[in-house]
Amino acid sequence: MRADLHRFWRRLCLSMECNHGCGMMISDDHPVSSFMDQFFVNSKHKRMTVSQTLKDLFETHPQIWKDKSLRQLALGMLTRFGTNMILDANYNLGWPLCIAQCIVVLEQYNGTDDIDLAMNERVVRTKWRSVCNMRDCLKFYRKRVSCKCPKTMHLWSRKKIPKTGICWNCHKEKERVALSVCSRCMITPYCSRGCQVADWTNHKKSCDDYVRAQNNE
């Protein structure tokens, strides 16, 4: 399984002639290569959530998180993979969205914080919330590559796809203007007061975690 996933992400990273300004490919024995392998094993084989995957990688690959140069290299590989996948019509949005969430945490992590605090920062959760469809995803990767590969698709999506978000209670996709966020954590979106009240039992703990992380910013 690990070998198959290793070939999978390396093939997708090389699926276009353009490297999108994300640097050269890494060798199989490079620590970032091991980081990428474990990311895909956790996400696909172990079916971990992004948060669970990142916590596991924080423990198993501490050098990537602590070393800024390795972190930047990991960001380059993830960005290259995500960009190639979203430009390939044979794949759905699952992987690019998952990769985008990982990228956001790696971008914001300062090398010292607890991983839970890093993932619960307002900027991280807000960016996670704001990337939920093709339009958002194309914008996300377009802003992170130096080439123009995603530009045409992103411009097309801006004309065809409205800005949307997901209500955390009913899980329905709504236009973003119809959503409001929890007034306490200023992160979790709802489409109505009724949905917010109905979800409070589930949201309370994460709301506390978000507020705690914001107080440590």
How would residue 171 be classed by pLDDT, with cut points 50, 70 and 90? very high
3-state helix, strand and coil shares in percent for the chain, rounded to the nearest 5: 65, 5, 30
Mean pLDDT (whole number) for 11-23: 90
pLDDT (0 to 100) of residue 44? 86
- The Cα–Cα gap between 47 and 52 comes to 9
In whole angstroms, how large is the CA radius of gyration of the chain?
18
pLDDT in tens, 27-43: 999 999 999 999 999 99
Q: What is the mean pLDDT of residues 6-29?
A: 91
- Give this prediction's pTM: 0.89
Predicted confidence at residue 217, as pLDDT, reads 64
